[in-house]
Amino acid sequence: MPELPEVETIARGVDTRIRGDRIVEAWFSNHPQPFKTAPERQVEGLEGRMILGVHRTGKHIVCELGDLSGAKTGQSSAQWIVHLGMTGRLLVTTPAGPVANHTHARLTLASGREIRFVDPRRFGRLELRDLEQGAVFRGAGKEPLNIAADDFAALFRGRKLAIKAALLNQTLLTGVGNIYADESLFRAGIRPRRRAGRLTRAELECLRVALKTVLEHAIRLGGSSVSDYVDADGVRGFFQLEHCVYLRTGQPCRTCNTPIRRILIAGRGTHYCPQCQH
DNA sequence: CATTTCACCTGGTGGC
DNA sequence: TGCCACCAGGTGAAAT
C-alpha cells in the first residue's frame, strides 16, 4: 500500500497514541511470510518492553523499545520494525474490537489499547532488532525530503535505466513508490522513460524539488487512499483527490486536457501526460 | 556490477 | 450469478 507520506502519517498517529505505553502480551499468526524475525523471538523481545517512540525511516515504521529490565534509561535497546508491503495496516484499537481478516499481529498494551497488524496479501514484514551491538536500523537509500541537490544529482549519474525505475530503487532513494514517482515526474515535466543518466542537472534539480513538494503536500493531506489505505485510527487520506496522473489513464490532463497515458516500466503501471512531459 | 523479470499473495473490478 | 482476465501502494531472488 503505502509510500513515504502514508507511512509518515501512520507512524505519527501510532506514536502519539502509544508512546510511553508498555507491551503486555504479543500474539502472531501462523503464516510464515510476514515474519522477518521468527514469531517466537518477537514475542520474547516484545513482551514487557516500554515503547519509547515511533517514527518512519523510508517505508519502514520503527518502534523504539526500552530495556527489558524496565530500567528508565530512555535509551532504545531494541526496535520493532514494520514494513506494510502493498496492503498492510497498523492500527491502534481496543482488544474488544472485532478482529479483521488477515490479522497477523496483536500487541496488547498496559493502557488497555492494542496494536494490530493486518495484511491480506502478506507482502509486509515484521522484524525485531536487538540494538545491544549498536546497529541502528537505517534504510540503504537517501531520504528524499532532505537530500542535498548535489547528492540527488549524483544518484543518477551514468545510469542507463529509466528515471521512473531509478526513483523506485530503494537503495538510491528510500520511501518513493509508484504513486509519488509518477506524480513527481509529472510535476517536473519529465517523461518516465527518459534514461536517468541523460537528465540535465537542471532537470534533476527540478525533479528533486518536485518530489519534495509532492511528498510534503501529501503528508499534509494524510497520504493517498487509493483502495483501502487508512491511518492508525482507520481514517483515509485525501491526497488521491490531487493526483494528476496516477490511475488517471484516459482522463484529461489537469493542465492541458490531453488524455493521460499508461505504459509499463519495470513491470509497474506508469502514468504520464504526453503533452506536458518531455 | 547494473538492470530486468518474475514470484510472492488476496481482492476488487469489469467484460462476457 | 459465475467465470476469467487484469489490475493494485512493494521488494527480493533469479536471470540476463
DSSP secondary structure string for all residues of A195-215: BGGGS-HHHHHHHHHHHHHHH
- Rounded CA separation A274/A276 (Å): 6
Tell me the pLDDT of chain A averaged across its residues: 94
- Rounded CA separation A80/A51 (Å): 10
Phi-psi region at A267: left, alpha or beta (left = phi > 0; alpha = psi -120 to 50)? left
- Rounded CA separation A215/A213 (Å): 6
Q: Does A73 have pLDDT greater than 80?
A: no
CB of A184 within 7 Å of some strand C atom: no
- Rounded CA separation A260/A233 (Å): 34
Nucleotides on chain B that have an atom closer than 7 A to a protein CB are 2-12
CA torsion, ordered A120, A215, A261, A195, to nearest 10 deg: -110
Q: Does A87 have pLDDT greater than 90?
A: yes
With CA of A230 and C1' of each nucleotide, the nearest comes out as C9
| Three cell numbers written together for A35 | 515474519
Residue nearest to nucleotide B11 (CA to C1'): A120
With CA of A267 and C1' of each nucleotide, the nearest comes out as B5
Q: What is the pLDDT of residues A28-45, one digit of tens each?
A: 999 999 999 999 999 999
Nucleotides on chain C that have an atom closer than 7 A to a protein CB are 7-12
CB of A225 within 7 Å of some strand C atom: yes
Q: Does A169 have pLDDT greater than 70?
A: yes
Q: Which residues of A are catalytic?
A: 2-3, 59, 268
Q: Which of A50, A114, A39, A40 minimizes the C-alpha distance to A76?
A: A50
Domains and CATH numbers, chain A: 4-130 (3.20.190.10), 149-272 (1.10.8.50)
CB of A102 within 7 Å of some strand C atom: no
